[in-house]
Amino acid sequence: MSPLYYVGLQPELSTLDTAIDSDGILSVVTDGYDVLSVPITNLHFRSRVSRISQSVSDPAIVPHISPPIYPEVNFAPNSTYAQHVLGICAKWIELDSTDPRIAGVSAQILKHELSYASFCGLSYVIVPGPTRRNNVALYAESLNAALAAVPYINIIVHLAMAETGVEDPSGPDVPAPVDAMSIWDIWNSVRTICDYSSRLSVGLQLPPKLPPQTVVSRWFAEPITVLFISANIFLSNPKGYPVLSKAHQFLLFKYMKIKPYTILQDVREATQIRTSSKLPSKQDESAYLIYIRHLHTILPSPTAVEKFGRGYQDYLQNPLQPLRDNLESGTYEVFEKDPVKYAQYEKAVFGALSERGPNPNGQPVIVAVVGAGRGPLIACALRASERANVPIFAYAVEKNPNAYTYLLQRKELQWQSNVEIVFTDMRSWSPTHKVDIMVSELLGSFGDNELSPECLDGVQRVLKSNGIMIPQSYSSHFIPAMSPKIFSSIKSQNKEDIMNTPYVVMLQAVDLLAMEIKQAWEFRHPCPYLRANSQWPASHRINDLSQNDDSTATVKRDTPFDIGNEHNYRHVTARFSIESRGVMHGFVGYFESVLYGDVELSTRPDTINKKSKDMVSWFPIWFPISTPLYVPDDAEIEISIWRKTDNRKVWYEWSVETFVLVPVPGPGSDNRDSIASASASPARAISSPTKRVRLGCSKLHNPGGKYSSMLL
């Protein structure tokens, strides 16, 4: 059985001057490690390379290096242990050297080592990261060429999290900040030049002092295969056992959820230092491994959302279209597993019933659940009625024939006479009595994307003039984000429609680029526009059990599209401030809804705990952009999004523009708008005037609903 979490060992180089045989590897595995990271070649190879390099005197000539041969390699092929070995590429190569001879020789060595590792059946090779900020293109080109030359191997680029000296300013030591994102920046260039190769990932070195949180979460969005932990960064607990600081533990917990291999380094050296410094030595070399395994066993339990979304992280799903399609029972069953959503609905119906009170004439209050599914909201309404002591008569309106059959069974077995099941599209429903409280749950991940506005507009005519709709409103919210993983998976399918379609996705490897999520738009029910423009001709009479002023109401069976759907068109352009640079691959959408009064739902990460903690029914929505947009520090992203309709369908279009705020010399800022305007940041505007310079923009996605739309 495979372990839950892989821990490996990287032995000190001095122990690896001689080749490792299968016994050596298996002994490490029997010591409790899952993998051993081993340099592919050894000092014999290095000596030969340096002899050949020195023999060529012309600095313009790159000498030819032939592949390593026995005994220049550290292991031989052996299928029984290949899965336990991660190859390490020679640390002395310099793919980004400014000396063309060194760079050229290094590129040859990389290919030879990858090729030998692949021959031995290894899947991964760890390659040292670039050694300088410049020459990144040269480094990346060598990786790209090696990936092309050796088709089945995966490269792990070994990188520091940040430059030395970049520590979390909230920590005890506060050194002058260097450039917290510089290493990430280099990595971003490397993988961009390598065209987001799925065979390229990161091996991240855990530093003794952690960088700021923005850097930690940035790496969390990257494809990390290995987390390297030197035994030298461990502290000692009072009993003398090696432990990690609280901050490191917290970070490790976060990373353990995405399951990279942890490779322990310097174990022998750290153990010897502890023993010789007379630290309480209740430890041997295995203490570090035992500790990491222990941390894994005490991983904080997953949140309700993590449990619910297990297996779906970063997996793109097409949003449901419950109006066009008839949902399966299993899909309804998944909805019904969310206790929070139904508790909120019950609270909302209870609030509305309590405020309204029973009818003075003793007739029941008419409640309609429109889009009843398998009936959970009918059950909520009945419970709320009992608790509020307000008798109700409930309509369950559903257009899915299979769900209708299920509702009929529930009526017979559970609800009996005070519920009527109606099989119809709500937009053409003609009840015999007008409705006091209309309850619906037609919300999608972006609020209105399952056509709640259009369906509810179509049924609003059967609501009494003083009737209540639950939800009373919902709004859509969004924020620009970076997710190389989602971008790669969309890109690998290489289809235009995929780049122009919003997806529902349980986000994991994602970094939100802006500090603030913004509201796009809102829909309110009953729709004020329709209330003010209800010019439908009389065609149908219905009775009102409560005999109030709505007792003989006139309704029309037609949909409200007689007066068009333009009132459900929306557009917004929102500006987001970006502090730390990054790459925008798309934006994330959420929604909030006021069910009734102060009873609300939210999927926004910053308000969900306050409004509907542990609600799991909706994953966020992801709007991709077809070409990633790089944004520097102190930049701005403007997202424009439209909700459009042509009476047959509804669709979204979106585009993105990026700007950088550049300091301008001299007094006052450049206030010319449209092309350049003053900084949005008051602090910055006071200290130094800035000019807003356009950096780039995306194309308009999904024009005319060509690639994705919701059918009415």
Ligand X SMILES: C[S@@+](CC[C@H](N)C(=O)[O-])C[C@H]1O[C@@H](n2cnc3c(N)ncnc32)[C@H](O)[C@@H]1O
Q: Which residues are annotated as a binding site?
A: 332, 341-342, 398, 425-426
| CA–CA dist 675, 691 (Å, integer) | 10
CB of residue 334 vs ligand X: minimum separation in angstroms? Answer: 9
CB of residue 322 vs ligand X: minimum separation in angstroms? Answer: 4
Report if residue 469 touches ligand X, rule: CB under 6 A. Answer: no
Stretch that binds ligand X, among 421-429, 492-500, 572-580, 642-650 (CB under 6 A): 421-429
Stretch that binds ligand X, among 132-140, 147-155, 234-242, 366-374 (CB under 6 A): 366-374
Nearer to ligand X among residue 185 and residue 454 (C-beta): 454
β-strand partners of 692: 661
Phi, psi of 497, deg, nearest 5: -65, -30
Nearer to ligand X among residue 241 and residue 404 (C-beta): 404
**CB contact burial 82-110 (16+ within 10 A = b; e otherwise):** bebbbbbbbeebbbbbeeebbbbbbbbbb
Q: Report residue 704 as tokens.
A: 């005319």
Q: HEC states along 124-163?
A: EEEEECCCCCCCHHHHHHHHHHHHHHCCCCEEEEEEECCC
Stretch that binds ligand X, among 66-74, 226-234, 236-244, 327-335 (CB under 6 A): 327-335
CB of residue 166 vs ligand X: minimum separation in angstroms? Answer: 47
CB of residue 146 vs ligand X: minimum separation in angstroms? Answer: 50
CA angle 77, 83, 86 (to 5 degrees): 85
CA angle 543, 547, 548 (to 5 degrees): 115
| CA–CA dist 436, 646 (Å, integer) | 31
Report if residue 427 touches ligand X, rule: CB under 6 A. Answer: yes
Which residues are known binding-site members for S-adenosyl-L-methionine? 332, 341-342, 398, 425-426
Report if residue 568 touches ligand X, rule: CB under 6 A. Answer: no
| CA–CA dist 578, 417 (Å, integer) | 58
Report if residue 373 touches ligand X, rule: CB under 6 A. Answer: yes
β-strand partners of 39: 88
Stretch that binds ligand X, among 266-274, 320-328, 407-415, 654-662 (CB under 6 A): 320-328
Nearer to ligand X among residue 104 and residue 375 (C-beta): 375
Stretch that binds ligand X, among 81-89, 106-114, 368-376, 688-696 (CB under 6 A): 368-376
Single out the residue of 194, 216, 426, 676 in contact with ligand X (rule: CB under 6 A): 426
Report if residue 457 touches ligand X, rule: CB under 6 A. Answer: no
Burial class (CB in 10 A: 0-12, 13-18, 19+), 281: middle
Catalytic residue list = 441, 450
Neighbours of 204 (CB within 10 A): 26
Nearer to ligand X among residue 238 and residue 330 (C-beta): 330
Q: HEC states along 409-471?
A: HHHHHHHHHHEEEEECCHHHCCCCECEEEEEECCCECCEHHHCHHHHHHHHHHHEEEEEEEEC
Single out the residue of 223, 322, 364, 431 in contact with ligand X (rule: CB under 6 A): 322
Which residue from 574, 407, 362 is spatially nearest to 475, judged by alpha carbons?
574
Q: Report residue 631 as tokens.
A: 């944004």
Q: Is the dihedral of CA 540, 542, 548, 550 positive or negative?
A: negative
Phi, psi of 421, deg, nearest 5: -95, 130
CB of residue 320 vs ligand X: minimum separation in angstroms? Answer: 7
3-class state of residue 183 by DSSP: helix
389-408 residues near ligand X, rule: CB under 6 A: 397-400, 403
Q: Which residues contact 445 (CB under 8 A, 6 or more apart)?
A: 319, 504, 589, 590, 591, 603, 618, 619, 620, 621
Strands 511-512 and 635-645: unpaired
Report if residue 203 touches ligand X, rule: CB under 6 A. Answer: no
Report if residue 455 touches ligand X, rule: CB under 6 A. Answer: yes
Stretch that binds ligand X, among 309-317, 373-381, 410-418, 652-660 (CB under 6 A): 373-381
Single out the residue of 94, 346, 441, 670 in contact with ligand X (rule: CB under 6 A): 441
Nearer to ligand X among residue 328 and residue 606 (C-beta): 328
Nearer to ligand X among residue 401 and residue 537 (C-beta): 401
Binding-site size, ligand X (CB under 6 A):
22
Stretch that binds ligand X, among 120-128, 296-304, 330-338, 700-708 (CB under 6 A): 330-338
Report if residue 376 touches ligand X, rule: CB under 6 A. Answer: yes
Report if residue 327 touches ligand X, rule: CB under 6 A. Answer: yes
Report if residue 442 touches ligand X, rule: CB under 6 A. Answer: yes
Nearer to ligand X among residue 442 and residue 594 (C-beta): 442
> Which helix or strand (DSSP H or E) is residue 15 part of?
none
Nearer to ligand X among residue 403 and residue 507 (C-beta): 403
Report if residue 371 touches ligand X, rule: CB under 6 A. Answer: yes
| CA–CA dist 614, 305 (Å, integer) | 6
Single out the residue of 306, 425, 614, 638 in contact with ligand X (rule: CB under 6 A): 425
3-class state of residue 657 by DSSP: strand
Q: Which residue bears the tokens 């390593």?
A: 68
97-116 residues near ligand X, rule: CB under 6 A: none
Neighbours of 385 (CB within 10 A): 22
Report if residue 316 touches ligand X, rule: CB under 6 A. Answer: no
For ligand X, the nearest residue by Cβ is 371
Question: Are 215 and 185 contacting, i.e. CB atoms less than 8 angstroms apart?
Answer: no
CB of residue 435 vs ligand X: minimum separation in angstroms? Answer: 14
Nearer to ligand X among residue 299 and residue 327 (C-beta): 327
Report if residue 323 touches ligand X, rule: CB under 6 A. Answer: yes
CB of residue 460 vs ligand X: minimum separation in angstroms? Answer: 12
CB of residue 231 vs ligand X: minimum separation in angstroms? Answer: 53
CB of residue 20 vs ligand X: minimum separation in angstroms? Answer: 58
Report if residue 7 touches ligand X, rule: CB under 6 A. Answer: no
Nearer to ligand X among residue 398 and residue 544 (C-beta): 398
Neighbours of 343 (CB within 10 A): 14
Report if residue 603 touches ligand X, rule: CB under 6 A. Answer: no
| CA–CA dist 228, 157 (Å, integer) | 12
| CA–CA dist 349, 656 (Å, integer) | 40
Residue 99 CA: distances (Å) to CA of 7, 96, 103, 575, 685? 38, 9, 6, 45, 45
Report if residue 332 touches ligand X, rule: CB under 6 A. Answer: yes
CB of residue 404 vs ligand X: minimum separation in angstroms? Answer: 9
513-552 residues near ligand X, rule: CB under 6 A: none
Question: Are 319 and 445 contacting, i.e. CB atoms less than 8 angstroms apart?
Answer: yes
Total number of residues shown for the chain: 712
Nearer to ligand X among residue 336 and residue 614 (C-beta): 336
Stretch that binds ligand X, among 71-79, 236-244, 328-336, 584-592 (CB under 6 A): 328-336
CB of residue 526 vs ligand X: minimum separation in angstroms? Answer: 16
Chain residues in the site for ligand X (CB under 6 A): 322-323, 327, 332, 335-336, 371-373, 376-377, 397-400, 403, 425-427, 441-442, 455
